[in-house]
Amino acid sequence: MDKVMIIGCGAYMDSGYGCPGEWRCLKAASLGEGNFASPSQVVGFLKCECPGRPLIANLGMAIKLSEIKPDLIYLSSCLANAKPGCPYSSPEEMAELIQSKTGIEVKLGTHDYH
């Protein structure tokens, strides 16, 4: 079973629209639905915070302190499919940066529930 970390858009999460951390990402991961090829173990759930600068450091700290290197990192659907999009970086840029800093593959999006 893959061990995964999920990163949500904090600006969206804090707006109380009923997105990440509630159930969608977690359900998709546990059942292997949406963008998860098979049931996966969520070993970390991080919140990006505008303008996103501490994200890589926070991610590195989560990996170090949890002593678990995830097999995959997911940008949540609310982050990867945001409309209007993040004003600071595109999901593709964010994924590339995370991948280059951690060496871990990054997937864009988690679930397709409404």
Residue among 5, 29, 63, 86 that touches ligand SF4 (CB under 6 A) = 86
CB 5 within 8 Å of CB 59: yes
Stretch that binds ligand SF4, among 29-37, 45-53, 65-73, 98-106 (CB under 6 A): 45-53
71: how many CB neighbours lie within 10 A of its CB? 15
Considering the complex, what minimum distance in angstroms separates the CB of residue 85 from ligand SF4? 8
One-character DSSP codes across 31-71: HT-TT-SS-EEEEEEEEE-TT-TTHHHHHHHHHHHHT---S
How far apart, in whole angstroms, are the C-alpha atoms of residue 37 and residue 91? 20
How far apart, in whole angstroms, are the C-alpha atoms of residue 107 and residue 87? 20
Stretch that binds ligand SF4, among 9-17, 25-33, 34-42, 58-66 (CB under 6 A): 9-17
Number of residues that bind ligand SF4 (CB under 6 A): 11
Residue 79 touching ligand SF4 (CB under 6 A): yes
Residue among 18, 39, 51, 54 that touches ligand SF4 (CB under 6 A) = 51
Residue closer to ligand SF4 by CB (options 30, 89) is 89
What is the contact surface with ligand SF4 in residues (CB under 6 A)?
Answer: 9-11, 48-52, 79, 86, 88
